[in-house]
Chain A
Amino acid sequence: MSSPLPDSANPFAPRPTPARRLEGAVSWIFRIATYFVLACGLSIFATIFWKGSATVFRAEFPFVNTAFFTQAPETLYVFEWQGEKREMGDKEFRVFREAEAAKAAAEGRPAPVIRADSYAHSAGGIFPNVVGTVLLVVGSMTIALTLGVCAAIYLSEYARDTAAVRLIRLAILNLAGVPSIVFGLFGFGMFVIFFDWNVSLLAGWFTLAFMVLPVIITASEESLKAVPKGFREGSLALGATKWQTIRKNVLPYALPGILTSSILGIARVAGETAPIMFTAAFVISDRLPWQVEKFSDMFFQGVMALPYHIYVVSSKIPQNEYTERMQYGTAFVFLFTVGLIALTSILLRNKLRGRYKW
Chain B
Amino acid sequence: MDSTATASVPRSRPLATPPASSAGAERGATLIDIKDLDFYYGAKQALFDINLQIPDKRVTAFIGPSGCGKSTLLRCLNRMNDLIDGTSVKRGAIKIRNVDIYGRDVDPIELRKRVGMVFQKSNPFPKSIYENITYGLRIQGVKNKTRLDEVVEKSLRGAALWDEVKDRLHESGLGLSGGQQQRLCIARTIAVEPEVILMDEPCSALDPIATAKVEELIHELKKQFTIIIVTHSMQQAARCSDQTAFFYMGKLIEFDATHNIFMNPKNPQTEAYVSGRFG
Contact = CB atoms under 8 A, between A and B. Distances in A.
Interface of A: 160-161, 228, 230-231, 233-241, 244, 248-249, 253, 356-358
A236 B110 contact: no
Contacts of B67: none
Interface string B65-99: 00000000000001010010100000000000000
A230 B121 contact: yes
Contact of B140 (A233, A239, A358): A239
B80 A239 contact: no
B213 interface: no
Contacts of B80: 233, 236-237
Interface of B: 78, 80, 83, 85, 109-110, 112-113, 116-117, 119, 121, 123-126, 135-136, 138-140, 172, 174, 185, 188-189, 192
6 contacts: A161-B85, A233-B80, A237-B117, A238-B189, A249-B135, A356-B126
B112 A237 contact: yes
A161 B139 CA distance: 29
A238 B113 contact: yes
A239 B174 contact: no
Contacts of A161: 85
Contacts of B138: 248
Contacts of B116: 237-238
A357 B128 CA distance: 12
B136 A231 contact: no
Contacts of A230: 119, 121, 123
Contacts of B185: 234
A358 B189 contact: no
A239 B125 contact: no
Contact of A160 (B85, B109, B113): B85
Contact of A239 (B85, B110, B126): B110
B174 A358 contact: yes
Contacts of A241: 109
Contacts of A237: 78, 80, 112, 116-117, 119, 189
Given A231-B123, A231-B125, A239 B117 contact: no
Given A161-B85, A248-B139, A357-B126, A234 B113 contact: no
B135 A235 contact: yes
Q: Which of A230, A233, A234, A238 neighbours the largest number of chain B CB atoms within 10 Å of its CB?
A: A238
Contacts of A228: 123
B101 to A, nearest CB: 14
Given A231-B126, A234-B123, A234-B188, 20 more contacts: A228-B123, A230-B123, A231-B123, A233-B80, A233-B117, A234-B119, A234-B185, A235-B135, A235-B139, A237-B78, A237-B116, A237-B117, A237-B119, A239-B110, A239-B112, A239-B140, A240-B109, A240-B136, A357-B126, A358-B126
Contacts of B110: 239
A244 to B, nearest CB: 5
A331 B133 CA distance: 53
A233 B135 contact: no
Contacts of A357: 126, 172, 174
Nearest to B113: A239
Nearest 7 CB-CB pairings of A with B? A230-B123, A239-B113, A238-B136, A237-B117, A234-B123, A239-B112, A240-B139
A249 B126 CA distance: 9
Contacts of A253: 126
